[in-house]
Structure 1
Amino acid sequence: MPYRSRRSGCHHPFTRRHLFAIAAAGLAVTALPISATGATSDVVETDEEPHHHVIFQNGVIRLMRVLIPAGKATLWHEHTHDYAVTVIGGSTVHTGSREDGSSMDGEMTTGSVIYGAYQDKHAIRRITNTGPDLLHQIAFELLRPSAGDFGKADRSEASVFALVLDEQRLKAWHLTLEAGASTPIYRQDGPGVRVVLSGRRIIETKPGEIGHEGVVQAGDAAFTLPATRVLTNAGPTQLSLIEFELR
Protein backbone atom coordinates (compact mmCIF):
# COMPACT_ATOMS: atom_id res chain seq x y z
CA MET A 1 0.00 0.00 0.00
CA PRO A 2 1.42 3.45 -0.87
CA TYR A 3 -0.39 4.96 2.11
CA ARG A 4 -0.41 3.36 5.53
CA SER A 5 -2.67 4.74 8.23
CA ARG A 6 -3.59 4.42 11.86
CA ARG A 7 -7.22 5.43 11.81
CA SER A 8 -9.15 7.49 14.30
CA GLY A 9 -11.92 8.60 11.95
CA CYS A 10 -13.74 7.84 8.74
CA HIS A 11 -12.24 6.60 5.47
CA HIS A 12 -11.33 8.99 2.66
CA PRO A 13 -10.26 7.87 -0.84
CA PHE A 14 -7.29 10.18 -1.28
CA THR A 15 -4.98 10.30 1.72
CA ARG A 16 -7.76 9.41 4.16
CA ARG A 17 -6.71 12.28 6.36
CA HIS A 18 -8.77 14.02 8.99
CA LEU A 19 -8.10 16.75 11.55
CA PHE A 20 -10.38 19.13 13.45
CA ALA A 21 -9.53 21.39 16.38
CA ILE A 22 -12.26 21.20 19.04
CA ALA A 23 -12.75 24.11 21.45
CA ALA A 24 -11.93 23.42 25.08
CA ALA A 25 -14.88 22.51 27.26
CA GLY A 26 -16.66 25.52 28.73
CA LEU A 27 -15.33 28.03 26.18
CA ALA A 28 -17.67 29.80 23.81
CA VAL A 29 -17.27 28.94 20.12
CA THR A 30 -17.78 31.68 17.54
CA ALA A 31 -19.28 30.53 14.25
CA LEU A 32 -17.26 31.37 11.15
CA PRO A 33 -18.95 32.82 8.06
CA ILE A 34 -20.00 30.21 5.51
CA SER A 35 -19.24 30.62 1.82
CA ALA A 36 -21.54 29.73 -1.06
CA THR A 37 -19.77 26.36 -1.39
CA GLY A 38 -20.27 25.56 2.30
CA ALA A 39 -16.64 26.26 3.26
CA THR A 40 -15.85 28.57 6.15
CA SER A 41 -14.02 31.81 5.42
CA ASP A 42 -10.69 30.44 6.72
CA VAL A 43 -10.62 27.86 3.91
CA VAL A 44 -8.70 28.57 0.69
CA GLU A 45 -8.79 26.94 -2.74
CA THR A 46 -6.12 24.29 -3.17
CA ASP A 47 -4.13 26.31 -5.72
CA GLU A 48 -4.16 29.31 -3.33
CA GLU A 49 -2.75 27.35 -0.38
CA PRO A 50 0.82 28.67 0.20
CA HIS A 51 2.49 25.23 0.16
CA HIS A 52 0.89 24.38 -3.22
CA HIS A 53 2.95 26.13 -5.91
CA VAL A 54 1.34 26.24 -9.37
CA ILE A 55 4.06 25.59 -11.97
CA PHE A 56 1.93 24.95 -15.09
CA GLN A 57 -1.69 25.37 -16.13
CA ASN A 58 -3.76 25.04 -19.30
CA GLY A 59 -7.34 24.06 -20.06
CA VAL A 60 -6.71 20.43 -19.14
CA ILE A 61 -4.66 20.38 -15.91
CA ARG A 62 -3.27 22.57 -13.15
CA LEU A 63 0.17 21.26 -12.13
CA MET A 64 1.54 22.03 -8.66
CA ARG A 65 4.68 21.37 -6.64
CA VAL A 66 3.68 20.80 -3.00
CA LEU A 67 6.39 21.49 -0.40
CA ILE A 68 5.60 21.08 3.31
CA PRO A 69 8.64 21.42 5.62
CA ALA A 70 9.05 19.21 8.68
CA GLY A 71 6.72 20.26 11.48
CA LYS A 72 4.68 22.63 9.29
CA ALA A 73 1.01 22.46 8.30
CA THR A 74 -1.03 23.62 5.34
CA LEU A 75 -4.00 25.88 5.67
CA TRP A 76 -7.43 24.33 5.47
CA HIS A 77 -7.94 23.99 1.71
CA GLU A 78 -10.82 22.79 -0.45
CA HIS A 79 -10.45 20.22 -3.22
CA THR A 80 -13.00 20.76 -5.99
CA HIS A 81 -11.33 18.87 -8.88
CA ASP A 82 -10.20 15.27 -9.32
CA TYR A 83 -6.61 15.23 -8.10
CA ALA A 84 -3.51 13.08 -8.65
CA VAL A 85 -0.33 13.07 -6.56
CA THR A 86 3.13 11.57 -6.98
CA VAL A 87 5.20 11.61 -3.79
CA ILE A 88 8.78 12.70 -4.54
CA GLY A 89 9.96 12.81 -0.93
CA GLY A 90 7.76 11.05 1.61
CA SER A 91 7.01 11.69 5.27
CA THR A 92 4.63 10.83 8.08
CA VAL A 93 1.61 13.11 8.22
CA HIS A 94 -1.26 14.14 10.46
CA THR A 95 -4.25 14.88 8.28
CA GLY A 96 -7.73 16.12 8.71
CA SER A 97 -11.23 16.56 7.38
CA ARG A 98 -13.38 19.62 8.06
CA GLU A 99 -16.50 17.66 7.07
CA ASP A 100 -16.73 15.36 10.07
CA GLY A 101 -14.06 16.62 12.45
CA SER A 102 -12.09 13.36 12.52
CA SER A 103 -8.29 13.05 12.47
CA MET A 104 -5.66 10.46 11.70
CA ASP A 105 -1.94 9.80 11.36
CA GLY A 106 -0.35 8.06 8.40
CA GLU A 107 2.53 7.97 5.98
CA MET A 108 3.00 9.11 2.37
CA THR A 109 5.77 6.96 0.94
CA THR A 110 8.30 8.12 -1.64
CA GLY A 111 7.33 7.05 -5.17
CA SER A 112 3.68 6.38 -4.37
CA VAL A 113 0.81 7.57 -6.57
CA ILE A 114 -2.47 8.72 -4.98
CA TYR A 115 -5.77 9.77 -6.55
CA GLY A 116 -8.67 11.75 -5.10
CA ALA A 117 -12.08 11.89 -6.82
CA TYR A 118 -13.23 15.34 -5.71
CA GLN A 119 -15.08 16.51 -8.83
CA ASP A 120 -18.49 15.38 -7.53
CA LYS A 121 -17.73 15.39 -3.81
CA HIS A 122 -15.65 18.33 -2.61
CA ALA A 123 -13.42 17.94 0.44
CA ILE A 124 -11.72 20.30 2.89
CA ARG A 125 -8.37 19.06 4.17
CA ARG A 126 -5.35 20.09 6.22
CA ILE A 127 -1.96 18.30 6.23
CA THR A 128 0.70 18.50 8.93
CA ASN A 129 4.15 17.07 8.17
CA THR A 130 5.01 15.18 11.36
CA GLY A 131 8.26 13.70 10.03
CA PRO A 132 11.84 15.07 10.10
CA ASP A 133 12.11 15.68 6.34
CA LEU A 134 10.47 17.82 3.69
CA LEU A 135 7.23 16.38 2.25
CA HIS A 136 7.59 16.90 -1.51
CA GLN A 137 4.83 16.09 -4.01
CA ILE A 138 3.96 16.70 -7.63
CA ALA A 139 0.19 17.10 -7.82
CA PHE A 140 -2.24 18.08 -10.53
CA GLU A 141 -5.94 18.85 -10.81
CA LEU A 142 -8.06 17.70 -13.76
CA LEU A 143 -9.74 20.92 -14.87
CA ARG A 144 -12.07 19.37 -17.45
CA PRO A 145 -15.38 18.44 -15.76
CA SER A 146 -15.50 14.94 -17.26
CA ALA A 147 -13.47 12.37 -19.19
CA GLY A 148 -12.25 13.70 -22.52
CA ASP A 149 -12.62 10.53 -24.63
CA PHE A 150 -8.97 10.91 -25.61
CA GLY A 151 -8.41 7.22 -26.23
CA LYS A 152 -7.98 3.82 -24.62
CA ALA A 153 -4.80 4.65 -22.66
CA ASP A 154 -3.44 1.14 -23.17
CA ARG A 155 0.26 0.29 -22.89
CA SER A 156 -0.16 -3.43 -22.37
CA GLU A 157 2.02 -4.19 -25.42
CA ALA A 158 4.91 -2.25 -23.85
CA SER A 159 5.54 -4.44 -20.81
CA VAL A 160 8.17 -2.09 -19.39
CA PHE A 161 5.28 0.13 -18.25
CA ALA A 162 3.82 -1.17 -14.96
CA LEU A 163 0.26 0.02 -14.32
CA VAL A 164 -0.01 1.78 -10.93
CA LEU A 165 -3.28 3.73 -11.29
CA ASP A 166 -6.46 2.89 -13.21
CA GLU A 167 -9.29 5.38 -12.72
CA GLN A 168 -12.22 6.35 -14.92
CA ARG A 169 -10.51 9.57 -16.05
CA LEU A 170 -6.84 8.75 -15.63
CA LYS A 171 -4.24 5.99 -15.83
CA ALA A 172 -0.64 5.97 -14.63
CA TRP A 173 2.35 3.69 -15.20
CA HIS A 174 5.74 3.31 -13.54
CA LEU A 175 8.65 3.06 -15.98
CA THR A 176 12.14 1.93 -14.95
CA LEU A 177 15.03 1.88 -17.43
CA GLU A 178 18.62 0.94 -16.69
CA ALA A 179 21.44 3.01 -18.19
CA GLY A 180 21.36 2.80 -21.99
CA ALA A 181 18.02 0.94 -22.16
CA SER A 182 15.03 2.00 -24.28
CA THR A 183 11.29 1.36 -24.27
CA PRO A 184 9.66 -0.31 -27.24
CA ILE A 185 7.75 2.11 -29.45
CA TYR A 186 4.47 2.99 -27.76
CA ARG A 187 1.46 5.25 -28.26
CA GLN A 188 0.16 7.89 -25.86
CA ASP A 189 -3.47 8.60 -26.85
CA GLY A 190 -4.38 11.45 -24.51
CA PRO A 191 -2.58 14.36 -22.84
CA GLY A 192 -0.69 13.51 -19.70
CA VAL A 193 1.95 14.32 -17.10
CA ARG A 194 5.46 12.85 -16.77
CA VAL A 195 7.05 12.89 -13.30
CA VAL A 196 10.71 11.98 -12.76
CA LEU A 197 11.55 9.91 -9.68
CA SER A 198 15.23 9.41 -10.54
CA GLY A 199 17.61 9.73 -13.48
CA ARG A 200 20.00 12.09 -15.21
CA ARG A 201 19.32 12.25 -18.95
CA ILE A 202 16.52 11.12 -21.28
CA ILE A 203 16.13 10.91 -25.07
CA GLU A 204 12.64 11.00 -26.61
CA THR A 205 12.44 9.83 -30.22
CA LYS A 206 9.36 10.01 -32.48
CA PRO A 207 9.06 8.14 -35.80
CA GLY A 208 10.75 10.03 -38.63
CA GLU A 209 12.42 12.52 -36.28
CA ILE A 210 15.80 12.79 -34.59
CA GLY A 211 15.87 12.24 -30.84
CA HIS A 212 15.25 15.09 -28.41
CA GLU A 213 17.57 14.90 -25.40
CA GLY A 214 16.98 16.48 -22.01
CA VAL A 215 18.64 16.60 -18.61
CA VAL A 216 16.36 15.51 -15.77
CA GLN A 217 16.40 15.06 -12.02
CA ALA A 218 14.06 13.77 -9.33
CA GLY A 219 11.00 15.99 -9.01
CA ASP A 220 10.92 17.22 -12.62
CA ALA A 221 7.41 17.26 -14.08
CA ALA A 222 6.05 18.10 -17.52
CA PHE A 223 2.77 18.16 -19.43
CA THR A 224 2.93 15.70 -22.33
CA LEU A 225 0.98 15.59 -25.59
CA PRO A 226 -0.33 12.52 -27.45
CA ALA A 227 2.39 10.94 -29.60
CA THR A 228 4.06 7.74 -30.71
CA ARG A 229 7.55 7.61 -29.19
CA VAL A 230 10.49 5.73 -27.75
CA LEU A 231 12.18 6.76 -24.49
CA THR A 232 15.87 6.04 -23.85
CA ASN A 233 17.81 6.36 -20.61
CA ALA A 234 20.88 8.29 -21.76
CA GLY A 235 22.26 8.78 -18.26
CA PRO A 236 24.67 6.68 -16.17
CA THR A 237 22.10 5.82 -13.49
CA GLN A 238 18.67 4.20 -13.40
CA LEU A 239 15.81 6.25 -14.87
CA SER A 240 12.49 6.01 -13.04
CA LEU A 241 9.31 7.81 -14.20
CA ILE A 242 5.60 7.99 -13.52
CA GLU A 243 3.63 8.62 -16.71
CA PHE A 244 -0.02 9.74 -16.41
CA GLU A 245 -2.45 9.71 -19.32
CA LEU A 246 -5.95 11.19 -19.42
CA ARG A 247 -8.78 9.11 -20.85
Structure 2
Amino acid sequence: MIKAFATILVILLYAVFQSAVPVASEPRHHLKFENQYVRVFDVLVPPGDATLFHTHSNDYVFVTISGANLKAQVMGAQPVDLNLTSGEVRFTKAPLTHRVTNVGSTPFRNITVEILSSPSSTSSAASLENVPGHTLVLDNERVRVHRLVLEPGQSTGVHTHELSGLGVAVSTGEIEIESPGQQRQTVKLQPGDFRWHTGATTHSIKNVGSTRFEAVNIEWK
Protein backbone atom coordinates (compact mmCIF):
# COMPACT_ATOMS: atom_id res chain seq x y z
CA MET A 1 0.00 0.00 0.00
CA ILE A 2 2.86 2.36 0.84
CA LYS A 3 4.43 1.59 -2.53
CA ALA A 4 1.14 2.34 -4.30
CA PHE A 5 0.80 5.64 -2.42
CA ALA A 6 4.36 6.61 -3.36
CA THR A 7 3.64 5.85 -7.01
CA ILE A 8 0.51 8.04 -6.95
CA LEU A 9 2.47 10.84 -5.27
CA VAL A 10 5.15 10.72 -7.97
CA ILE A 11 2.48 10.86 -10.69
CA LEU A 12 0.79 13.83 -9.02
CA LEU A 13 4.08 15.70 -8.59
CA TYR A 14 4.95 15.03 -12.22
CA ALA A 15 1.57 16.42 -13.29
CA VAL A 16 2.12 19.56 -11.20
CA PHE A 17 5.55 20.21 -12.65
CA GLN A 18 4.31 19.52 -16.17
CA SER A 19 1.28 21.82 -15.92
CA ALA A 20 1.38 24.94 -18.06
CA VAL A 21 0.60 28.56 -17.27
CA PRO A 22 -0.75 31.19 -19.70
CA VAL A 23 2.07 33.13 -21.33
CA ALA A 24 1.04 36.28 -19.44
CA SER A 25 1.69 34.44 -16.15
CA GLU A 26 5.10 33.07 -17.12
CA PRO A 27 7.67 34.92 -14.93
CA ARG A 28 10.26 35.49 -17.67
CA HIS A 29 7.69 37.03 -20.04
CA HIS A 30 7.26 40.70 -19.11
CA LEU A 31 4.20 42.40 -20.62
CA LYS A 32 5.22 45.80 -22.00
CA PHE A 33 2.33 46.88 -24.24
CA GLU A 34 -1.17 45.79 -25.20
CA ASN A 35 -4.03 47.07 -27.33
CA GLN A 36 -6.82 45.40 -29.28
CA TYR A 37 -4.41 44.27 -32.01
CA VAL A 38 -1.19 43.31 -30.26
CA ARG A 39 0.37 42.18 -27.02
CA VAL A 40 4.13 42.65 -26.58
CA PHE A 41 6.33 40.74 -24.13
CA ASP A 42 9.99 41.35 -23.32
CA VAL A 43 11.41 37.89 -22.61
CA LEU A 44 14.67 37.34 -20.74
CA VAL A 45 16.12 33.92 -19.82
CA PRO A 46 19.54 34.04 -18.10
CA PRO A 47 22.16 31.33 -18.73
CA GLY A 48 21.23 28.08 -16.99
CA ASP A 49 17.64 29.22 -16.44
CA ALA A 50 14.40 28.03 -18.02
CA THR A 51 10.87 29.25 -18.56
CA LEU A 52 7.92 27.37 -17.15
CA PHE A 53 5.79 25.41 -19.54
CA HIS A 54 3.50 28.10 -20.90
CA THR A 55 0.74 28.34 -23.49
CA HIS A 56 0.52 30.78 -26.39
CA SER A 57 -3.15 31.06 -27.40
CA ASN A 58 -2.46 33.57 -30.18
CA ASP A 59 -0.23 33.41 -33.24
CA TYR A 60 2.97 35.34 -32.58
CA VAL A 61 6.20 36.67 -34.03
CA PHE A 62 9.36 36.82 -31.98
CA VAL A 63 12.40 38.98 -32.67
CA THR A 64 15.64 37.75 -31.12
CA ILE A 65 17.50 40.59 -29.40
CA SER A 66 20.26 38.54 -27.72
CA GLY A 67 20.90 35.15 -29.28
CA ALA A 68 21.72 32.02 -27.29
CA ASN A 69 21.95 28.24 -27.39
CA LEU A 70 18.66 26.81 -26.16
CA LYS A 71 16.71 23.64 -25.58
CA ALA A 72 13.11 24.04 -26.74
CA GLN A 73 10.51 21.55 -25.58
CA VAL A 74 6.91 21.29 -26.73
CA MET A 75 4.83 19.73 -23.94
CA GLY A 76 4.68 15.99 -24.49
CA ALA A 77 7.73 15.92 -26.76
CA GLN A 78 11.47 15.63 -26.26
CA PRO A 79 13.63 18.80 -26.06
CA VAL A 80 15.36 19.89 -29.26
CA ASP A 81 18.33 22.17 -29.85
CA LEU A 82 17.45 25.74 -30.84
CA ASN A 83 20.26 28.15 -31.65
CA LEU A 84 19.12 31.72 -32.26
CA THR A 85 21.10 34.74 -33.39
CA SER A 86 20.51 38.44 -32.81
CA GLY A 87 17.97 39.86 -35.26
CA GLU A 88 16.43 36.50 -36.16
CA VAL A 89 12.66 36.61 -36.72
CA ARG A 90 10.25 33.67 -36.51
CA PHE A 91 6.49 33.21 -36.74
CA THR A 92 4.64 30.59 -34.67
CA LYS A 93 1.07 29.35 -35.01
CA ALA A 94 -1.06 28.96 -31.91
CA PRO A 95 -1.92 27.14 -29.80
CA LEU A 96 1.52 26.16 -28.53
CA THR A 97 2.54 24.94 -25.09
CA HIS A 98 6.29 24.78 -24.58
CA ARG A 99 9.24 25.79 -22.46
CA VAL A 100 12.74 27.03 -23.26
CA THR A 101 15.97 26.31 -21.37
CA ASN A 102 19.05 28.47 -21.88
CA VAL A 103 21.93 25.99 -22.03
CA GLY A 104 24.41 28.59 -23.29
CA SER A 105 26.65 31.09 -21.53
CA THR A 106 24.86 34.28 -22.63
CA PRO A 107 21.42 35.69 -21.71
CA PHE A 108 18.60 34.96 -24.15
CA ARG A 109 16.31 37.89 -24.88
CA ASN A 110 13.52 38.31 -27.38
CA ILE A 111 10.53 40.51 -28.05
CA THR A 112 7.45 38.31 -28.41
CA VAL A 113 4.65 39.95 -30.39
CA GLU A 114 1.23 38.31 -30.13
CA ILE A 115 -1.28 38.97 -32.93
CA LEU A 116 -4.64 39.54 -31.24
CA SER A 117 -6.62 40.85 -34.22
CA SER A 118 -6.11 42.61 -37.53
CA PRO A 119 -7.06 46.23 -38.24
CA SER A 120 -8.97 46.94 -41.43
CA SER A 121 -6.27 46.91 -44.07
CA THR A 122 -5.61 46.83 -47.78
CA SER A 123 -4.80 43.27 -48.79
CA SER A 124 -2.81 44.55 -51.76
CA ALA A 125 -0.72 46.98 -49.69
CA ALA A 126 2.68 47.56 -51.26
CA SER A 127 5.74 45.85 -49.83
CA LEU A 128 8.65 47.95 -48.58
CA GLU A 129 11.22 45.90 -50.51
CA ASN A 130 11.99 48.79 -52.85
CA VAL A 131 12.50 51.26 -50.00
CA PRO A 132 16.23 51.77 -49.25
CA GLY A 133 17.44 49.73 -46.28
CA HIS A 134 14.48 47.31 -46.26
CA THR A 135 14.60 43.55 -46.90
CA LEU A 136 11.57 41.23 -46.78
CA VAL A 137 12.21 38.38 -44.32
CA LEU A 138 8.75 36.88 -43.67
CA ASP A 139 5.37 37.03 -45.40
CA ASN A 140 2.27 34.97 -44.59
CA GLU A 141 -1.49 35.34 -44.13
CA ARG A 142 -1.13 37.19 -40.79
CA VAL A 143 1.93 39.42 -41.06
CA ARG A 144 4.63 40.78 -43.32
CA VAL A 145 8.06 41.45 -41.81
CA HIS A 146 10.91 43.57 -43.17
CA ARG A 147 14.39 44.04 -41.78
CA LEU A 148 15.69 47.63 -41.81
CA VAL A 149 19.45 48.19 -41.90
CA LEU A 150 20.84 51.72 -42.21
CA GLU A 151 24.51 52.63 -42.28
CA PRO A 152 25.57 55.94 -40.67
CA GLY A 153 24.17 58.80 -42.73
CA GLN A 154 21.88 56.54 -44.79
CA SER A 155 18.19 57.41 -45.18
CA THR A 156 15.16 55.44 -46.29
CA GLY A 157 13.74 58.45 -48.10
CA VAL A 158 10.05 59.27 -47.75
CA HIS A 159 7.88 56.15 -47.88
CA THR A 160 4.45 54.98 -46.70
CA HIS A 161 3.55 52.06 -44.45
CA GLU A 162 0.05 51.20 -45.66
CA LEU A 163 -0.51 48.64 -42.90
CA SER A 164 -0.59 48.99 -39.11
CA GLY A 165 2.55 47.66 -37.52
CA LEU A 166 5.20 47.43 -34.85
CA GLY A 167 8.84 48.45 -35.24
CA VAL A 168 11.42 46.74 -33.00
CA ALA A 169 15.00 48.00 -32.60
CA VAL A 170 17.57 45.20 -32.77
CA SER A 171 20.61 47.42 -32.21
CA THR A 172 21.36 50.68 -30.47
CA GLY A 173 20.96 53.68 -32.70
CA GLU A 174 20.19 57.33 -33.14
CA ILE A 175 17.69 58.01 -35.90
CA GLU A 176 15.93 61.03 -37.32
CA ILE A 177 12.25 60.59 -38.22
CA GLU A 178 10.54 63.11 -40.47
CA SER A 179 6.82 63.00 -41.32
CA PRO A 180 4.92 65.42 -43.59
CA GLY A 181 3.48 68.30 -41.60
CA GLN A 182 5.26 67.31 -38.38
CA GLN A 183 8.42 68.38 -36.63
CA ARG A 184 11.51 66.32 -37.28
CA GLN A 185 12.28 63.98 -34.35
CA THR A 186 15.63 62.60 -33.24
CA VAL A 187 15.24 59.36 -31.30
CA LYS A 188 17.85 57.34 -29.42
CA LEU A 189 17.01 53.64 -29.31
CA GLN A 190 18.20 50.64 -27.35
CA PRO A 191 17.87 46.99 -28.42
CA GLY A 192 14.32 45.82 -27.72
CA ASP A 193 12.72 49.27 -27.89
CA PHE A 194 9.55 49.22 -29.99
CA ARG A 195 6.86 51.49 -31.39
CA TRP A 196 3.32 50.68 -32.57
CA HIS A 197 1.36 52.62 -35.18
CA THR A 198 -2.27 52.11 -36.23
CA GLY A 199 -3.16 52.72 -39.86
CA ALA A 200 -1.05 54.15 -42.66
CA THR A 201 1.92 56.34 -41.85
CA THR A 202 4.32 58.27 -44.09
CA HIS A 203 7.82 59.21 -43.01
CA SER A 204 11.53 59.01 -43.67
CA ILE A 205 14.13 57.52 -41.32
CA LYS A 206 17.77 58.57 -41.31
CA ASN A 207 20.60 57.07 -39.29
CA VAL A 208 22.25 60.09 -37.67
CA GLY A 209 24.39 57.96 -35.36
CA SER A 210 27.92 56.68 -35.84
CA THR A 211 27.12 52.94 -36.05
CA ARG A 212 24.95 50.68 -38.20
CA PHE A 213 21.29 50.65 -37.12
CA GLU A 214 19.12 47.55 -37.41
CA ALA A 215 15.41 47.13 -36.74
CA VAL A 216 12.51 44.86 -37.69
CA ASN A 217 9.13 46.11 -38.90
CA ILE A 218 6.12 43.80 -38.45
CA GLU A 219 3.02 44.71 -40.49
CA TRP A 220 -0.47 43.39 -39.69
CA LYS A 221 -2.53 42.03 -42.59
Instruction: Give the TM-score normalised by the residue count of structure 1.
Output: 0.79
Query: Unaligned stretches of 5+ in structure 1?
Result: 1-25
CA contact (8 A) 1:199 1:235 kept: no
Matched, 1:30 2:6: no
1:208 Cα deviation from its structure 2 partner: 2.6
1:198 Cα deviation from its structure 2 partner: 1.7
Matched letter for residue 36 of structure 2: G
Match of residue 50 from structure 1: 27
Backbone CA RMSD of aligned residues? 2.3
CA distance in 2: counterparts of 1:106 and 1:198, whole angstroms = 22
Match of residue 207 from structure 1: 180
Runs (4+) off by over 4 Å: 26-29
Match of residue 204 from structure 2: 230
1:66 Cα deviation from its structure 2 partner: 0.2
Pick the aligned partner of 1:198 from 166, 171, 174: 171
Matched, 1:73 2:33: no
Match of residue 156 from structure 1: 129
1:195 Cα deviation from its structure 2 partner: 1.0
CA distance in 1: counterparts of 2:80 and 2:179, whole angstroms = 47
Matched letter for residue 78 of structure 2: S
Matched letter for residue 87 of structure 2: G
Matched letter for residue 85 of structure 2: T
Matched, 1:125 2:114: no
CA distance in 1: counterparts of 2:187 and 2:133, whole angstroms = 21
CA contact (8 A) 1:153 1:246 kept: no
Pick the aligned partner of 2:83 from 107, 111, 119: 107
Q: What is the aligned length?
A: 212
CA distance in 1: counterparts of 2:131 and 2:62, whole angstroms = 24
1:31 Cα deviation from its structure 2 partner: 5.0
Which digits, 9 at most, give the CA deviation of each residue in 1:53-94, with x for residues without a partner? 001111110011000000001001001101110101000111
Match of residue 72 from structure 2: 95
How do 1:136-175 residues align onto structure 2 when only pairs under 5 Å count? 136-144=109-117, 147-151=118-122, 152=125, 154-175=127-148
Identity %: 28
